[in-house]
Amino acid sequence: MSLRLHPLRRFAQSGFTIVELMVSVVIALILMIALMQLLLGTMQTDRSSSDLSRMQESGRNALETMGRALRQAGARINADVPFSGTPLTGTSSAPDTITVQYEAQAGGEPDCAGNTVAAGALVTYAFAVNTAVNPPTLTCNGNVLASNVEDLRISYGIDTGKDGTIDSYTTTPTATQFAQVAAVQVSLLVRGAATGSAANRSQTYTFNGASVTNIDGFLRQVYNATFTVRNQAG
């Protein structure tokens, strides 16, 4: 009796066709594009959030410093002695400037540079925007108060009768009207630090009563505040 050996069967192995391979490549590319868009969107959101936080900090610090000075404008240490300085002056020059003076109270007060001003001596706060540097800055007596501040606009509330009622607002008060200022409106235009933070590189906002559109990719925010000039208010 003989044993018959059966030959091993060969199993054919089939590979990918060119069509299947191309479909796989297209699907992979679609997935990669979707992931890249998600990543770019996340980066855009993070950049915008970071810029917004920095702008809010700059705007808040600037307004706090300006408000503190404006509320003290014309203050004197001895009410029976005429004020020796000029409480308020300013220019309407886009960006505007404003200068505040008052007498340091008992114990002395620090100025913009952190130097202590003796009691009774004049404290001067001169606010201006330096557009000659990049990024532009809000300065106080030449010292940087906040970075990325592009514009400053000032409007003065005039109380001609000293009765506690604002009769009108003006951006260009006369010398007589400066002595009648009872309130000051401050408007700051603050720019983000990083280009590309604004969606689609375009942003429209309202500043100084006008609609403005920028296409440079920088995010911008407007910060407004009104401060009472206590020593000149009725």
Model confidence over 150-172: pLDDT tens digits?
999 999 999 999 888 999 999 99
Strand arrangement, sheet containing 143-147 = 88-91, 97-103, 122-130, 137-140, 143-147
**Cα–Cα distance for residue pair 165/78, rounded to 1 Å:** 26
Which residue is it, tokens 């296409």? 215
Domain boundaries, the chain: 38-228
- Residues 178-221 have pLDDT tens digits of 999 999 999 999 998 877 666 567 789 999 999 999 888 888 99
| DSSP structure class, residue 103 | E
**What pTM was computed for the model?**
0.78
